[in-house]
Chain A
Amino acid sequence: MEFVFTPEQQMIQDTARQFLDACSNSGHVRDAMTKTTGYDAELWQKICHEMYWQAIHIPEQYGGLGLGCVEMAILFEQMGRRLLCSPYFSTVALATNALLVAGTEAQKQHYLPRIADGSLTATLAYIGHASHGDNNSKDRYHNGWHTDSVTVTALPQFNQHTVITGYTLSGTLHYVPHGHTADLLVIAARLPDSSGEEGVSLFLLPSHLQGVEVQWTPSMDQTRPLAQITLNNVIIPADNVMLQSEYAWPLLEKTLQLACVALAAEQMGGAQQALDLTLEYTKERKQFGRAIASFQAIKHRMADMMLQVESARSAVYYAACIADEALQHHNPAAATDNVSQNDPLSPGNACHSSLDHSLADELPLASSLAKAYCSDAYFHCAAESIQLHGGVGFTWEYDPHLYFKRAKSSETLLGNASFHREKIAQIIL
């Protein structure tokens, strides 16, 4: 047991920090935010061709760097600190994880090298309901993931031997991160008349296919654009169905759990930066003849922020270690059987013989823990950062609002804290 960075991991962190300090400062972020693509294409190319971050946890056999989830979390933490605007999260945390978890060998061989060499961006879309509550019978409150979030229909096409040759996809997908620029879409859809976990399938859908309509939906947090995707009878071959065909729900869930770990790392980095910039400001700003940092009311609030940031850090890196185990021991067929839950702290688990395996089984708990804790911590720190800046904290010019907005959108993305606490409750209660 060694819960610290190795020297290599420390180096990855230092390099990422330096790179992003130089390439993703407040000015860069504000530039990228105003573009309809939501990111600076030149910087993305630089990331892909100089840093190879998009290849971080793609196995070497598919042209990746073959590193793990801890290394990936290190990058996400630094990106979160600097509010990096890029399709990194959607491509790596969502789509690449989906390919690693549910891709067939042929699909992995086809797509992973293209992601690894930076020629392809991608995302994942699964939410079939809008939740604006406009008297539209299709509206539905959406928080996290539920089997009934999946509403796009996949109508199988058969040949004369009643073998499935392809599918016709139709329906609308909402709140898709970087969905309007992604080259490749991973889509969750379901067989007609199916419900619950039954009938849920994952598809790989190149976005240029006929009938795919993407539309940018400008959002309050401008650092991570969202899109709406409409599928008008899009026809795709059977080769594009991902693993366990219509039994893909557990694989989708696992993908989302892995993505939660990445998102939590990003949130923790953002919370850290909200703390750091507030600390700097309170040390400089003087009122009543002294730095406002000398007031105990402010010191104590900063101490509480640090407590949350450090705890978030522990939660993230623990979950990242678990995510590594979960990917290493991943078996798509087994994942779709009922996974046994295992809590090492509970009585009766005194002696683990195959510890690694039980660590892998912790993914649902560890990922929900990290996402729940980091969602609350980031929102708290970003809100405190506005308050402790006073009036300037409320301006467009100062940065706290960027963190505050990103905190909120990240909290909502993949389920807020109460969604994840309920997930935990379902396991432990």
Chain B
Amino acid sequence: MKLSFSSEDEQFRQEIATWLQDNLCGKYEPLRFRGGPGDEHMFPEERKRWEQHMAQAGWLCVGWPKEHGGRALSINQQVIFYEEYARAGGPGLAGHIGAGLTGPTLIAFGTEEQKQRFLPGIINGTEYWCQGYSEPSAGSDLANVSTKAVLGTAADGHTQQWRINGQKVWTSLAHESDWCFVIARTEPGSQGHKGLSFLLVPMDQPGIEVRPIEQITGTSEFNEVFFDDAVTDANNIVGQPGDGWKIAMALLGFERGVSTLGQQMAFQNELDEIIRIAKNNGAAEEPTIRQRIADAWMGLRIMRYNSLRMLSGPQDGTLQKEAMIYKLFWTDWHSNLGKLAMDVLGPESEIIEEGQYGLSRLQSMYLFSRSDTIYGGTNEIQRNIIAERALGMPKEPKGAV
């Protein structure tokens, strides 16, 4: 066991820190610490331009293999990259779904043609993606999707294309996206995991309607997406028809990993802000608040240690225990942090900063953190997974109600 980074790695830390210092300024200055969950409505266009600026210097998708335009950074250097990015206040990346989910999925399962068509748009910051999994009747029970796709001939009489009908819901950033990956039922009459396919669908077409959903925060980061004879090219299927479930699950595995360190640095920024307020308003002298701040600090450190373990472990796709607890740990931690922030503010926590419902960053974080324990597999589902896969306890009975 060894905690320190090598001198090459420290040199790399210097390199990225300097680049950020020299570039995340001037017209990009207002973007610092903006964007990300709860703040996605801020500066969406400017943040995309920032991402393109990063892309020109080769700082997007730094972990991707060189053949796909990445830097093929080692795990250690990716850790450093995400730490320094967040430390500098690098804005939330609108391209994280493409970079973190679509890209790795295509690299693992896509055809050569798909890689050439889609990876450059992600790595250049010019094409943005959203995730079309959930439906009104398919939430935790994702295998219950009923959106249908049928392969047929286009109006021109010869090209083959998928025709899609159905509805997705809670689709984050659909309104900012160029493409959506959609799980759809391609085998008529099939049920559950069988007969699903993983399709890549362009958003800008008459068959797709995106309707924003207003959230607890009063803002809209997610949407309903309606597919009414929406189409996509026959080649825009990842894997074979019927492989959809396998690919959808593999993709969820890509969600964990190096970017967790950057997320933690963003959490650290929130905790620092809470500590700053507590010191100024005297909350830091309350014994129970002191305990809770220390506890929050501990939780964040443990998250980091869990990540270091996760990243040092075998990178062969096997899910280690520390990886299986990761989501459950951070989401509970973060919603507690939200409550702590309000308790440190005291009655001032109620007061709206501007206009009718212009929430402060901490108010927004407090409210938004209630979704952390829901999206990407609720905490109850996480516990089922831990109990069944890590502890070998019996599976949940399948309901026939």
Instruction: Please determine whether chains A and B interact with each other in the same assembly.
Output: yes
Residues of A bordering B, CB below 8 Å: 1-6, 9, 70, 279, 282-283, 290-291, 293-294, 296, 298-300, 302-304, 306-307, 310-311, 313-315, 317-318, 320-322, 325, 345-347, 350-353, 355-356, 359, 365, 369, 372-373, 418, 421-422, 424-425, 428-429
Known: A302-B391, A350-B84. A1 touches B321 (CB 8 A): no
Question: Contacts of A365 on B, CB cut-off 8 Å?
Answer: 301
B353 sits at the interface (CB 8 A)? no
Q: List residues 375-401 of chain B with CB under 8 A from any CB of chain A.
A: 380, 382-384, 386-388, 390-394, 396-397
Instruction: Let me know if B203 is at the binding interface, CB within 8 A.
Output: no
Judging by beta carbons under 8 Å apart, are B5 and A425 in contact?
A: no
B residues less than 8 Å from A347 (CB atoms): 87, 269, 272
Residue contact B293 to A307, C-beta cutoff 8 Å: no
CB atoms of B298 and A369 under 8 A apart: yes
Say yes or no: A317 contacts B1, CB within 8 Å: yes
Contact between B387 and A300 (Cβ–Cβ < 8 Å)? yes
B298–A421 CB distance below 8 A: yes
Contact among A4, A355, A369 with B301 in the assembled complex (CB-CB below 8 Å): A369
Known A4-B313, A294-B394: A321·B302 in contact at CB below 8 Å: no
Nearest B-chain residue to A73, judged by Cβ: B1
Contact check, B308 vs A3: say whether CB atoms are below 8 A apart: yes
A296 to B380, CA, bound (A): 9
Can you list, as one digit per residue, whether each of B1-39 has a CB less than 8 Å from chain A (1) or not (0)?
111110001100110010000000000000000000000
Question: Do A299 and B384 have beta carbons less than 8 Å apart?
Answer: yes
CA distance A318 to B295 in the complex (A): 17
Main secondary structure of the interface of A (DSSP, over half): helix
A311 touching B1 by the CB < 8 A rule?
Answer: no
Q: Is the CB of A1 within 8 A of B322?
A: no
Instruction: Check A345–B275 contact: CB distance below 8 A.
Output: no
The 10 closest A-B pairs by CB, nearest first: A299-B387, A314-B305, A421-B294, A294-B394, A303-B386, A303-B383, A425-B290, A424-B294, A3-B308, A3-B312
Q: Does B304 contact A (CB under 8 A)?
A: yes
Taking CB atoms, residues of chain B closer than 8 Å to A424 are 294, 297-298
A-B contact pairs, 29 of them (CB 8 A): A1-B2, A1-B5, A1-B9, A2-B1, A290-B394, A291-B394, A293-B393, A299-B384, A300-B383, A303-B382, A303-B391, A306-B321, A306-B391, A311-B329, A314-B302, A315-B301, A317-B305, A318-B3, A345-B300, A345-B301, A351-B17, A352-B10, A369-B298, A373-B298, A421-B290, A421-B298, A425-B284, A428-B293, A429-B293
* B328–A355 touching, CB < 8 Å: no
- Report if B361 contacts A (CB, 8 A): no
Closest chain A residue to B395, Cβ basis: A294
Any chain A CB within 8 A of the CB of B143? no
- Is B279 engaged at the interface, CB distance under 8 Å to the other chain? yes
Task: Kindly identify which residue among B14, B386, B392 contacts A307, using a CB–CB cutoff of 8 Å.
Answer: B386
Chain A residue at minimal CB-CB distance from B285:
A429
Interchain nearest-CB distance for A13 vs B (Å): 12
Given contact pairs A2-B312, A291-B394, A429-B290, A351 touches B13 in the complex (Cβ within 8 A): yes
Partner of B396, one of A296, A356, A429: A296
Contacting residue for B325 out of A282, A310, A322, A346, CB 8 A:
A310
Q: Knowing that A311-B306, A318-B308, A345-B304 are A-B contacts, what are 4 other residue pairs whose CB atoms are under 8 Å apart, sorted by A's residue number?
A: A293-B393, A311-B305, A311-B325, A425-B284
Q: Say yes or no: A321-B3 contact (C-beta < 8 A), given A347-B87, A351-B14.
A: yes
Residues of A within 8 A of B13 (CB): 350-351
Q: Give the residue name and chain of the B residue nearest to A372 (CB).
A: B298
Q: From residue 82 to 135 of chain B, which have CB atoms closer than 8 A to chain A?
A: 84, 87
In the complex, the answer to whether A294 meets B279 with C-beta atoms within 8 Å is no
Give the residues in chain B near A298, CB-CB below 8 Å: 393
Residues of A within 8 A of B393 (CB): 279, 282-283, 293-294, 298-299, 302
Contact B328 A307 (CB under 8 A): yes
Q: Does B191 contact A (CB under 8 A)?
A: no
Q: Does B281 contact A (CB under 8 A)?
A: no
- A4 and B383 contact, CB distance less than 8 A: no
Asked if B183 lies at the interface with its beta carbon under 8 angstroms from chain A, I say no
Q: How far is the CB of B392 from chain A (nearest CB, A)?
A: 8
Residues in B with CB closer than 8 Å to A291 are 394
Query: Which of chain A's residues have a CB closer than 8 A to the CB of B397?
Result: 294
Quick check: is B79 within 8 A (CB to CB) of the other chain? yes
Please measure, in the bound complex, the distance between the C-alpha atom of A424 and the C-alpha atom of B4, giving whole angstroms: 23
Which chain A positions have C-beta within 8 A of B388? 299
Q: Which of A1, A317, A428 sits near B294, CB closer than 8 Å?
A: A428
Q: How far is the CA of A365 from the CA of B304 in the complex (A)?
A: 14
Q: Does the CB pair B294–A314 fall under 8 Å?
A: no
Contacts of B240 in A (CB 8 A): none
Do the beta carbons of A1 and B383 come within 8 Å of each other? no
Given A307-B386, A310-B321, A311-B329, verify A355-B4 contact (CB < 8 Å). yes
Q: Tell me if A428 and B87 are in contact (CB < 8 A).
A: no
The complex places the Cα of A290 from the Cα of B394 at a distance, in Å, of 10
Q: Are the CB atoms of A355 and B294 closer together than 8 Å?
A: no
| Cα(A293)–Cα(B394), bound, Å | 7
Of chain A, the residue at the smallest CB distance from B314 is A4
In the assembled complex, the CB of A6 is this many whole angstroms from the nearest CB of chain B, namely 7
Determine how close the nearest CB of chain B comes to the CB of A423; give it in whole angstroms: 8
B residues near A311, Cβ cutoff 8 Å: 302, 305-306, 325, 329
Contacts of A322 on B, CB cut-off 8 Å? Answer: 3
A425 touching B301 by the CB < 8 A rule? no
User: Does B246 sit at the interface, judged by CB under 8 A?
Assistant: no
Chain A min CB distance to B63 (Å): 16
Map CB proximity to A onto B261-302 as digits: 1 under 8 Å, 0 otherwise. 000110011001001001100001001001101110110111
Cα of A373 to Cα of B329 in the assembled complex, Å:
14
Chain B residues within 8 Å of A300, by CB: 380, 383-384, 387
Which chain B residues border A372 with CB–CB below 8 Å? Answer: 294, 298
A317 to B311, CA, bound (A): 15
**Chain B residues near A315 (CB, 8 Å)?**
298, 301-302, 305
Instruction: Specify which chain A residues have a CB less than 8 angstroms from the CB of B321 in the assembled complex.
Output: 306, 310
B153 at the binding interface (Cβ < 8 Å): no
**Distance from B294 Cβ to chain A, minimum over Cβ atoms (Å):** 4
Nearest Cβ on chain A to B62's Cβ, whole angstroms? 17
Whether B290 pairs with A5 at a CB distance below 8 angstroms is no
- How far, in Å, is A220 (CB) from chain B's closest CB? 26
- What's the least CB distance linking A270 to chain B, in Å? 18
Nearest-neighbour CB distance to chain A for B348, whole angstroms, equals 19
How far apart sit A162 and B69, CA to CA, in the bound complex (Å)? Answer: 78
For residue A418, which residue of chain B has the nearest CB?
B291
Residues of B within 8 A of A303 (CB): 328, 382-384, 386-387, 390-391
Chain A residues with Cβ under 8 A from B304's Cβ?
A: 345
A1-B4 CB under 8 A given contacts A422-B294, A425-B293: yes
Contacts of A422 in B (CB 8 A): 287, 290-291, 294
